[in-house]
Chain A
Amino acid sequence: MPQTPMVDHPDHEAGGSTSAATPLLSVRGLKTYFKLDEGTVKAVDGVSFDLFAGRTLGIVGESGCGKSISARSILRIVDRPGKIEGGEILLQQEGDNENAIDLLQLPHEGPELRAIRGKEIALVFQEPMASFSHYYTIGNQIMEAILLHSATSDDAARARAIELLGMVGVPNPERRVDEYPFQLSGGLRQRVMMAMALACDPRILIADEPTTALDVTTQAQVLNLLQRIQKERGLSVILITHDMGVVAEMADDVVVMYLGRAVEKGPVDEIFHDPKHPYTQALLRSIPSIMAKPRTKLATIEGSIPHPFARPSGCPFHPRCPDAIKGLCDVKEPPTHALRPDRAVSCFLYGDAS
């Protein structure tokens, strides 16, 4: 099914494009499917979004919505049997606003793609313990990334690793550099993970649930660090999370996903104060709030997230949607309506929105 792009392609705009108008990374119509014996799971099914330089794009959604698979698809590190079936991932070349390379066209394990992973686009995972090797010191693991992407000596790389650890707020970096991941607390591990991601001065940082495994006070430390680093280095960040609170505090732009679809997209303030899609509206109502009166019930969304094999026909949200139109929402997939260049919603309720 053809997918309406969520934003007018900036290339169509007249005149010289500024950095604000040209997305640094543009994902269009991305499809990542998992072909299993039981059937095909459309984990990501035609998702489009843009990341602009120096901004934070929040991708939110509940489990199974495809937010993590979208991120992994960008770096082409989707585990088998997952396969990218279609779409474009356009990365703007450094110092060249006219030509973008499509990461999906690069050879799968070729040197071009390897030069981008870690160097141009770095990734921070949710589980810092699972993403480190247990057998090497954290210093060695940071140095590995540096030595892989630049021609420096071991000593210089080690000095750089210590500098990076200091920058992310690891106390006594000269001593800590020789420690193993298991000797560190969860918060420290996430800081080291961040140091490792920043080792090659990437332009884009993808953070996949970076604080989900952490306690609130540690989460506050790590989010603060992320904000500071972004400001200092002008990093562009894709922040993937299920926590609406984290999105509200961190993101400039937001994509809301449900069952492999981007259902709504827009600036953070509008997503929270003028949500358009019934799913976004319901999701926001159902969040427990620290401001609530004690012992108050929450608004709920009927039913539960469908099993990936039992994906509903038509709009994936229609069985749970209070505004579903019989004979339409359960039959046809809603197109994506661009309300503005930076605002889009995928719902029949907005068919004729100007």
Chain B
Amino acid sequence: MTLLEVKGLKKYFPIRKGLLRKVVGHVKAVDDVSFTVKRGETLALVGESGCGKTTVSRCIMRALDPSAGEVNFTLDGQTTDLATLGGKGLKPFRRHLQMVFQDPFSSLNPRMMVGDLIGEPLLINGMSDPAERRKRVRELLDVVQLPVEYMNRFPHAFSGGQRQRIGIARALALNPSLIVADEPVSALDVSVQAQIINLLLDLQDQLGLTYLFVAHDLSVVKHVSDRVAVMYVGQLVEIASTEDLFHRPKHPYTEALLSAVPKPDPRAKTERIILQREVADAANPPPGCAFHPRCAHATDLCRQQRPALVDLGNGHQVRCHHAHVLDLKGVGATV
């Protein structure tokens, strides 16, 4: 069952110049992105900095207003387009979409005690009885495996991993249907990162959560997601099941991305694909396929015509003119 359907989502930021701040162009941060997230699954949105993955997540949360497109959210069998709603109309939906942030140091108010931080969303949503609130906060601390005594401490007393647990407890307070986690483990040390990844997996099993997991680290993504969507310069270039995407990539950019991940094994003899040149400018994308200036397989067709996202079957969608003929390497191809 589909929980979230993003359809033709666009977010353009105007570029203004001169004394009169005239609009001289647009940064197409998100340019026609469509995907669905099923209830109970994890969809990872991956890509390099500036590809628009965070902008997509912020448009879904309505922290940003989309320039065009639909964000259809299904609640109790009823589907609503969040993109068309205003402040008041959105309010009943806010509690069902929660966010876990990247930086556990700046996302918690240093002047609030942990109990108040986690209880704040409850208070805002009408749980006015302090005793009831404390009870729920206790439950939540238990869920994220923090001692209940921590309730009366301030965030500065905690390590990064503990703070991220507090952030997760806060997001879970209102029993949301969808959790958007934007790089939730990238600020953490490896040994702590593993704990948080495991916690997120456990919580999903226990509470039937749905995650939209925005990340750049493909190794982390491999551990948490059911399906993966790869973005490049504001567009989805490939979307497939985790297994298919990592082992049978169909887009040359995905292949390069996978090969560039350093493998923690000195014996791994994989060929790194070194992409030439730089990521295209979203304000001035090249004609045709946005990836063609860096693509080893580019032809005249790629230079002139923008490829469409086509389904190769099994839900494996790819935006490449030559997807059906290219023989690309996934991870573990050498084993």
Contact = CB atoms under 8 A, between A and B. Distances in A.
Interface of A: 62-63, 185, 187-188, 215-221, 223-224, 242-249, 251, 268-269, 272-273, 282-284, 286-292, 294-301, 304-305, 307
Given A220-B273, A249-B266, A288-B193, 10 more contacts: A62-B190, A216-B218, A248-B262, A251-B266, A290-B331, A291-B335, A295-B242, A298-B194, A301-B191, A301-B194
8 contacts: A217-B48, A220-B273, A288-B193, A294-B225, A294-B241, A294-B243, A300-B191, A305-B159
Interface string B176-198: 00000000000001111111011
Contacts of A272: 264-267
B281 to A, nearest CB: 10
B218 A290 contact: yes
B189 A62 contact: yes
B129 interface: no
B263 A215 contact: no
A133 B197 CA distance: 39
B262 A287 contact: no
A290 B275 contact: no
The 10 closest A-B pairs by CB, nearest first: A245-B262, A215-B48, A220-B260, A298-B194, A294-B242, A62-B189, A286-B194, A301-B191, A288-B219, A244-B264
A243 B261 CA distance: 11
B275 A221 contact: yes
A231 to B, nearest CB: 15
B327 interface: no
A243 B262 contact: yes
B122 to A, nearest CB: 27
A192 to B, nearest CB: 14
B141 interface: no
Interface of B: 42, 48-49, 159-162, 189-195, 197-198, 201, 216-220, 222-226, 241-243, 246, 256-268, 272-275, 278-279, 331-332, 335
A306 to B, nearest CB: 9
Contacts, number: 151
Contact of B223 (A284, A298, A307): A298
A248 B198 contact: no
B190 A287 contact: yes
Given A242-B189, A245-B261, A248-B262, A288 B217 contact: yes
Nearest to A282: B191
B223 A185 contact: no
Contact of B219 (A284, A287, A297, A301): A287
A305 B159 CA distance: 8
A320 to B, nearest CB: 8
A301 B196 CA distance: 11
Contacts of B257: 216-217
Given A268-B266, A283-B190, A286-B190, A216 B260 contact: yes
A289 B222 contact: yes
A270 B263 CA distance: 16
Contacts of A216: 48, 216, 218, 257, 260-261
B224 A295 contact: yes
A55 to B, nearest CB: 14
A248 B263 CA distance: 7
B226 A290 contact: no
B263 A220 contact: no
A244 B195 CA distance: 18
A223 B272 CA distance: 10
Contacts of B279: 185, 215
A295 B162 contact: no
Nearest to A64: B189
Contacts of B224: 295
B97 to A, nearest CB: 23
A217 B226 contact: no
A284 B266 CA distance: 13
Most buried by B among A243, A284, A298, A299: A298
Nearest to B223: A288
Contacts of B193: 286, 288
A63 B267 CA distance: 26
A215 B194 contact: no
A216 B223 CA distance: 18
Contact of B49 (A215, A220, A286): A215
Contacts of B49: 215
A275 B224 CA distance: 27
A296 B224 CA distance: 7
Contact of A289 (B219, B226, B274): B219
Contacts of A287: 190, 194, 219, 264
Given A273-B267, A298-B223, A244 B190 contact: yes
Nearest to B277: A171
Contacts of B216: 215-216
A205 to B, nearest CB: 19
Most buried by B among A223, A286, A290: A290
A290 B219 contact: yes
Nearest to B245: A294
